[in-house]
Amino acid sequence: MAKMIHSMIRVLDEARSVEFYSKAFGLSVADRIEFATFTLIYLSNAETGFELELTVNKGRTEPYDLGNAYGHLAVSVHEVAVERERMLKLGLKPGELVELNRDGRLFGLFFFVSDPDGYKIEVLQRHGRFL
């Protein structure tokens, strides 16, 4: 069976992105690997073995066009409203809290926040299938 181990996104500014993911989600650099034309930075935390790989292409100065195919990353937290307030205080500009119901029952409680490159991250209350 395949095991999901990481997701990769291209970022323009390593320091800015590492700072955002540290503040927003408690991720820290697990590994950093330099190549001639790019650098790979693997971010993780003790909560999961899944990693976020940041790819920084050396010499790139223009922001990436995210296009219309990119969806989002998702993380789950114990208290989504508390997390949203924490991010507001940090100036990270989280979106509104959304309650999604199905068949009269709560399916998901969440908000989105965007990283410095415009990637959306969904922050979900741990509930149902989002444990």
Which amino acid makes up residue 126? R
DSSP SS3 for 23: helix
Q: Which entry of 51, 53, 83, 122 is annotated as an active-site residue?
A: 122
Say whether 122 is catalytic. yes
Do residues 87 and 21 lie in contact, with contact meaning Cβ atoms separated by under 8 Å? no
- Between CA 5 and CA 58 the distance in angstroms is 25
Do residues 123 and 18 lie in contact, with contact meaning Cβ atoms separated by under 8 Å? no
Catalytic residues, by residue number, are 122
